[in-house]
């Protein structure tokens, strides 16, 4: 191979700021493509990984997994993408393709998931990423790149579980948290024909939540309202990662109801409620390849538009700080001004 170089922004250790970092262009496997990055969203998971929250971060670490760019090189056995194609890439950049989960089409549960992140070896805050072509998704032509970037992680994270529970009309769902994930969940839930209540700790989010399509709004700190709402929801969908009132929220679920976590709140609940009301608490992690393709066309058809603030990739540390301080409204996408084809 040539001695080409890529340039990105890496952190050298836990919690350290990102700094310019140059590395040899990774070689392509036979199924791989190189994607020259034009846009990359900043996700909470990037920040967790910088801080080694999951215990799997290898430094120097280049985060970034809400990627849009153009295919700039292809492996020998890639047949369905060509150089120049605009594609999106999400958190998962490959999978083993042979474990029981991959064989069932549930690649997000791949036994090798730790090695399947798009940021292995280096993520999207960079000039390019190398991923398996089967995890690079052609985008609807008219979809703006910053919209597609956010859908690649935040979009699939909320769409996949909302869709799999949408089994009849006007089921009642409470979406907990009106932030980066929540504001997209509200839009998808409305389009999937749920009756949607936005549940937020900030009363000032009401107007925006209704604008994103919520039918109702509830302040999560208002215990009286939560108590009055006993047995209201078929589904609670938690996008929040701060402390939540488990006891009162679980009481708002109908019997046989489900509480789905995509955020990481502290967990504490009384198992009696779970048993007596036959409740389920479950997690959901991104989505499989088939659902990713479906999500992109559903989002296009139903005008799902994440609210995005654009910043330059060279402002990556400022962007991360904004996300950490909860000041992003609602997602930040970094634009790579030096993108090359
Ligand atoms: Zn993410
Ligand atoms: Zn697998």
Residue 54 CA, ligand 1 centroid: distance in Å:
13
DSSP-derived 3-state class of residue 199: strand
In a domain, 341, yes or no: no
DSSP 275-324: HHHT-EEEE--S--HHHHHHHHHHHHHTT----EEEEEGGGHHHHHHHHH
In a domain, 150, yes or no: no
Number of the ligand closest to the Cα of 113: 2
> What is the extent of the structural domain holding 212?
156-283
The single residue listed with the structure tokens 């489900």 is 258
CA of 196 to the centre of ligand 1 (A): 24
In DSSP terms, which residues pair with 130 in a beta bridge? 34
Shared domain check, 264 and 164: yes
Question: Distance, CA 335 to ligand 1 centroid (Å)?
Answer: 17
Q: Are residues 22 and 101 located together in one domain of the fold? A: yes
User: Closest ligand to 132 CA?
Assistant: 2
Report which bound ligand comes closest to the CA of 150.
1
Kindly tell me if the per-residue pLDDT of 1 is higher than 50: no
Surrounding residues of ion ligand 1, Cβ less than 5 A: 43, 45, 153
Tell me: do 244 and 319 sit in the same domain: no
Question: Residues 85, 164: one domain?
Answer: no
Number of domains in the chain: 2
Residues 120 and 10 in one domain: yes
Secondary structure percentages of the chain, helix, strand, coil, to 5: 30, 25, 45
The ligand with the least distance to the CA atom of 67 is 1
**Confidence band for 341, pLDDT divided at 50, 70 and 90:** very low
The whole-angstrom separation of Cα 103 and Cα 85 is: 27
Could you count the other beta carbons within 10 Å of the beta carbon of residue 200?
A: 23
281-321 residue pLDDT tens: 999 999 999 999 999 999 999 999 999 999 999 999 999 99
Å from CA of 48 to ligand 1 middle: 10
Cβ-in-10-Å burial (0-12, 13-18, 19+) of 207 comes to: exposed
In a shared domain, residues 17 and 51: yes
**Statement to judge: residues 248 and 329 lie in one domain:** no
What value does the mean pLDDT of the chain take?
A: 95
CATH of the domain at 323: 3.90.180.10
State the pTM of this model: 0.96
């Amino acid at each position: 191979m040539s001695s080409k170089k890529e340039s990105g922004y890496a952190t050298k250790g836990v919690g350290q700021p990102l700094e310019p970092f140059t590395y040899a262009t990774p070689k392509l496997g036979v199924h791989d493509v190189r994607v020259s990055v034009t846009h990359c969203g900043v996700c909470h998971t990037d920040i967790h990984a910088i801080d080694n929250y999951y215990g799997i971060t290898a430094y120097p670490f280049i985060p970034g997994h809400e990627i849009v760019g153009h295919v700039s090189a292809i492996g020998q056995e890639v047949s369905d993408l060509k150089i120049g194609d605009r594609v999106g890439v999400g958190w998962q950049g490959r999978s083993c393709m042979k474990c029981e989960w991959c064989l069932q089409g549930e690649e997000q549960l791949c036994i090798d998931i730790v090695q399947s992140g798009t940021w292995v070896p280096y993520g999207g805050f960079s000039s390019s990423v190398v991923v398996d072509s089967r995890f690079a998704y052609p985008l609807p032509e008219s979809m703006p790149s910053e919209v597609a970037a956010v859908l690649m992680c935040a979009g699939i994270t909320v769409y996949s579980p909302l869709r799999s529970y949408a089994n009849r009309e006007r089921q009642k769902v409470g979406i907990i948290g009106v932030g980066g994930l929540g504001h997209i969940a509200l839009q998808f839930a409305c389009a999937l024909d749920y009756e949607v209540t936005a549940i937020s700790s900030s009363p000032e989010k009401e107007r925006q939540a209704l604008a994103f399509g919520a039918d109702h709004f509830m302040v999560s700190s208002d215990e009286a309202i939560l108590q009055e709402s006993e047995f209201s929801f078929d589904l609670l969908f938690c996008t929040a990662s701060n402390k939540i009132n488990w006891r009162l929220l679980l009481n708002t679920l109908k019997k046989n109801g489900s509480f789905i976590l995509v955020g990481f709140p502290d967990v504490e609940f009384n198992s009696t409620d779970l048993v007596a009301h036959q409740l389920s608490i479950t997690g959901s992690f991104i989505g499989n390849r088939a659902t990713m393709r479906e999500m992109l066309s559903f989002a296009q058809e139903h005008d799902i538009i994440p609210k995005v603030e654009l910043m330059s990739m060279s402002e990556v540390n400022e962007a991360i700080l904004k996300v950490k301080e909860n000041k992003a409204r609602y997602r930040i996408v970094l634009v790579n001004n030096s993108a090359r084809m």
